[in-house]
Amino acid sequence: MRVIAGTARRLKLKTLEGLDTRPTTDRIKETLFNMIAGGLPGCTFLDLFAGSGGIGIEALSRGAKRAVFVEKNPKAFACVKENLAHTKLSGQAETMQTDAFLALSRLAGSWRFDYIYLDPPYGKGLEKRVLACVADTGLLAEDGVIIIEAALDTAFDDVGELGYSLIKTKIYKTNKHIFLEKKGAPE
């Protein structure tokens, strides 16, 4: 895995061995960042369930002003810290080794994110719990976007009940990205 573009372009990133994390492939990462490229310069970015930190690091490399990385697994968290140091992006990053829900409550009131990216473990229903939590915290900027990497069979029919509108869905071979905004957000 590597940084695809920006100030840290071509630098290799460490990942965990085994099945503890599912690093987003370079091809999927490139597609994702081509879709949001216009909104990255100067933005604030939250990388929940950060794994090795590859998504948040890519955002920083491409011009995000600040990024917060949240990862509970101690080995993955160490990997995030190593990758930030290796890419020389630590100065623009805040890292939290904690549960995603505890992190969201701690960040509430002091942060507003232009992008909230989450790639939780599949099949545990964490996506909807995070959406409900974010809706209650004010962490998403008025014109902010939530991006969820999820298994293909994860349904998002009820996001409207949580106060979100579906912007788009991008389907890959084994997973998908869902893009959401607050209902009534400016276009």
**pLDDT tens across 27-86, in order?**
888 999 999 999 999 999 999 999 999 999 999 999 999 999 999 999 999 999 999 999
Number of residues assigned to the chain: 187
Alpha-carbon distance of 93 to 60, in angstroms, equals 8
CB 179, CB 114: distance < 8 Å: no
Alpha-carbon distance of 146 to 134, in angstroms, equals 10
For 40-122+133-174, CATH gives 3.40.50.150
Alpha-carbon distance of 20 to 72, in angstroms, equals 11
Whether residue 98 has pLDDT greater than 90: yes
Whether residue 92 has pLDDT greater than 60: yes
What does the block give as tokens for 111?
Answer: 């942060």
Whether residue 184 has pLDDT greater than 70: yes
Alpha-carbon distance of 5 to 95, in angstroms, equals 22
Instruction: Name the residue ranges covered by the structural domains of the chain.
Output: 40-122+133-174
CB 16, CB 75: distance < 8 Å: yes
> What is the pTM (predicted TM-score) of this model?
0.93
